[in-house]
Amino acid sequence: MNSRKFLVHKALFLALPLAIIGQDSRETVAILDFEGRGISQLEAQTLTDRFRTAVGSAGALRLVERQMMQEVLQEQGFQQTGCTSDECAVEVGQLLGVQNMIGGAIGRVGRTFTIDMRMFSVQTGENIRTKNVSYAGAVDGLITEIEILAYEISGLKAPAPLIAKRKAGVPVQPIVQAPRKTRLGAMLRSMFIPGMGQFYSERRFWGYTWLLSELALAGGIYTFGTQWQTSYDSYNSTIELYNNETDPDMIRGYKEKAQGHHADMDAAATQAETLAYAAAAVWAVNVIHALITGPKKDEDGEETSSLSLPVGLAFDPNTRTTMMQLSIPLGR
């Protein structure tokens, strides 16, 4: 028994359940997967499945199960997506023992989707019904269109709820855009916390630089402040001993210790004051840096800032200093 005879016998065996239901006068039909043109084959497959379900729900045609058709197609050596010619469809329909076949394509041209389908006779190859529709909108709306076409290709009128659903369209989800980042926003954030404006502008390196620098200076101020307090307490204790002492040698020793503690107090205060000035300077430079650099550019190459300030840094070779420049255009 050659391969073709085997397929014929197998198709007859698969079609046997259809013959048993003698009282069912509905025409038998098999649905090939729609061809995707401009949409993915996965989307086309999903829409075909929805179409197949809708045809079954319409009830005017008797469907051949997809698994049964898939087995025959695999025996022929190709998938459903490869069976696009009339000859292939007719041959598959004959092997399945169905009266009609339904096939079609779903395409996209720009923002418009097109659905073209036809039901044709396996015996004569002539078209029984052809349906086509154009749809402009979200791809989700194709589901409603494909369900309506399932009724129309079956020779029925689509139910009123489906027509109402088509008229209502696909609900559009509101697009919430993130607030536009600005230089001013970066500057204000850096005024409260050093580096916060740089993080806001997506300049993480500079954000960590300014934040850690400020934390290091704050730690130094705290350390020298603690040293000053320790020296101050020691100075007061030594002065108290000095005032209560009557021995000249001890008085002289307490005096020297008090002077030493006082010198330590002055040194700690000087260091803390220097670091405080440095912290204030770092804080100020951090604010200016956040203002000048601003947010990073977006994907279109445009800065995400709505505030453009003509501020820049310049190096003066004569004085060997870096200066800030502010330029104001007077005209075009």
Residue 190: CB atoms within 10 A of its CB come to: 29
Find out whether 102 and 118 touch, Cβ atoms under 8 Å.
yes
Give the mean pLDDT of 191-220.
91
What secondary structure, in 3-state letters, does 51-106 show?
Answer: HHHHHHHHCCCEECCHHHHHHHHHHHCCCHHHCCCHHHHHHHHHHHCCCEEEEEEE
> Where do we find the tokens 């001890």?
250
The model's pTM is 0.46
Please name every residue paired with 127 in a beta bridge, in sequence order, or none if there are none.
120
**Angstrom distance (rounded) from CA 109 to CA 321:** 62
Closest CA to 142 of 105, 90, 190: 105
* Token pair recorded at residue 85: 């010619």
Question: Bridge partners of 30?
Answer: 101
CA distances to 141, 189, 257, 311 from 108, in Å = 13, 48, 92, 50
Q: Which two tokens stand for residue 149?
A: 């076409």
**pLDDT of 93-115, one tens digit each?**
888 888 998 988 999 988 899 99
**pLDDT given at position 13:** 45
Q: How far is the C-alpha of 46 from the C-alpha of 33, rounded, in Å? A: 9
CA distance 176 to 171: 15
Top pLDDT among 140 and 192 is at 192
* Structural tokens at position 229: 């307090």
The answer to whether 289 and 207 are in contact (CB under 8 A) is no
Give tens-digit pLDDT for 61-95: 888 888 887 787 777 665 555 566 777 778 888 88
The count of other CB atoms within 10 Å of the CB of residue 275 is 20
The answer to whether the beta carbons of residues 94 and 106 sit under 8 Å apart is: no
Confidence band, pLDDT 50/70/90 cuts, at residue 32: confident
H-helix segments, the chain: 3-20, 41-58, 66-76, 86-96, 142-153, 160-168, 183-192, 196-200, 204-244, 248-293
d(CA 321, CA 44): 67
- Residue-wise pLDDT for 146-189, tens only, equals 999 999 998 899 888 888 888 876 554 554 556 788 888 888 99
Structure tokens at 77: 């050596």
Bridge partners of 324, per DSSP, are 313
Number of residues that this document lists for the chain: 332
The whole-number pLDDT of residue 138 equals 79
Quickly count: other Cβ atoms within 10 Å of residue 258's Cβ: 19
Please state, for a pLDDT cut of 70, what percent of the chain lies above it: 76
Q: Are 152 and 166 in contact (CB under 8 A)?
A: no
**Cα 226 from Cα 265, distance rounded (Å):** 10
